[in-house]
Amino acid sequence: MSSAVITKVEIIKLNIPYKEPFVISLGVIHEATNVVVRIHISTGLTGTGECAPFVFIVGETQETVFELAKQVGKLLLGKDPFAIGERLNEIDRAVQGNPTMKSAFDMALYDLLALKAGMPLYQLLGGTKNREIHTDMTISIGTPEKVASDALTFQREGFPAIKVKLGTSLKEDVARIRAIRHAVGPDYPIRIDANQGWDTTTAIETLKALEPFHIEHCEEPIAHWNSRELVKVRAYSPIPIMADESIFDHHDAFRLASMGACDYFNIKFSKSGGIHKALKIVAVAESAGIKCQVGCMSESRFALTALMHLVLASDAIVHYDMDSSLMLDADPVIGGIEYQGSGLWILEDRPGIGAGFDEEYLETMEKVSIS
């Protein structure tokens, strides 16, 4: 039995401007408005977590996370930090939904466990460094000329694939992809993401119209709740379908897999509530023979480092959309994954998640301590 208890929880807002505004079919983002959670325990260890609330997709904001995190912080005081399942169940009972807020606590608890073990988190999760992790790069919605020029820039920078945000209209979406394919040549991998922007008919027509452009897969073509219609879109689509907004946790994963509604799952901590349930999604994926992508919202390099540990824990994770920190105008993270150019992230072995935040950067941010 562990005698360690949680003694203090720090909740810190983390704002980082984007290099340029990021546009998707649901809205425009100018700044990452994330939240950092640090859990201090009686043995002197501190675990760190970060979450990136995206109101269009999850319905959480920096303010809702900050407020609810205070309640969760109070709930955790005096409790055993290493009984992770028990802690997360308590949080789930106290607060319905709000997976992004929960992901910061989940991440901090896993950081503590791996720090206590003295091991990199991926090892504790059963993983190995058996492959190179190259992120794709995302192109936000724009004119055909703008998206083609962005695509060419990213291809020249060495990214192994690009992901293009679509979901406005058939005509505009096809014009964007035609311009990009013309710019990057016939063989460069292109993925697309409609962010629920199409109805069923438009989705099927657009996906058929995009067939000649050799698209790897399409994320979330239609409204997130309509799994029944997603089965139909998948049946008629020449392009494999990846569920994103329609899969938050392992229950969604099981339902979509049972229905045959998608070819891939896109896992994000902001939707799964962190690592604990992400591992359960991976278990469903492995059971069903479905491959996964990992994705991000506006996370700094810290939460992307935590995501890297998950990636290394399962060979079912085959696509890596880990580009958020590359779009941010500042990097307040110390340690963690290091960008090598050409989309390549490398992780040095350190105990825990193996990263932290620059105290000077955090000092300027709004903060509350629960103890």
Please give the positions annotated as active site: 165, 193, 219, 244, 268
Which lies closer to Mg ion via its Cβ, residue 136 or residue 219?
Answer: 219
Which lies closer to Mg ion via its Cβ, residue 26 or residue 117?
Answer: 26
Which lies closer to Mg ion via its Cβ, residue 111 or residue 299?
Answer: 299
| Separation of alpha carbons 213 and 293, rounded Å | 21
CB of 213 to Mg ion, least distance (A): 19
Question: Which positions lie near Mg ion, rule CB under 5 A?
Answer: 193, 219, 244
CB of 138 to Mg ion, least distance (A): 9
Question: Which residues in 57-174 belong to E strands, given as ranges?
Answer: 133-134, 137-139, 162-165
CB of 319 to Mg ion, least distance (A): 11
CB of 224 to Mg ion, least distance (A): 10
**Taking the chain, what is the end-to-end CA distance rounded to the nearest angstrom?**
23
Which lies closer to Mg ion via its Cβ, residue 90 or residue 199?
Answer: 199
Which lies closer to Mg ion via its Cβ, residue 150 or residue 244?
Answer: 244
| Separation of alpha carbons 307 and 290, rounded Å | 19
Q: Which residue is nearest to Mg ion (CB)?
A: 244
Task: Tell whether the torsion through CA atoms of 97, 99, 101 and 105 is positive or negative.
Answer: positive
Name which of 350, 283, 310, 366 is nearest 106 in CA terms. 310
CB of 345 to Mg ion, least distance (A): 19
Q: Which residues contact 314 (CB under 8 A, 6 or more apart)?
A: 127, 282, 285, 286, 292
Q: Which two tokens stand for residue 68?
A: 């609810």
| Separation of alpha carbons 102 and 275, rounded Å | 10
Q: How buried is 341 (Cβ within 10 angstroms: 0-12 exposed, 13-18 middle, 19+ buried)?
A: exposed
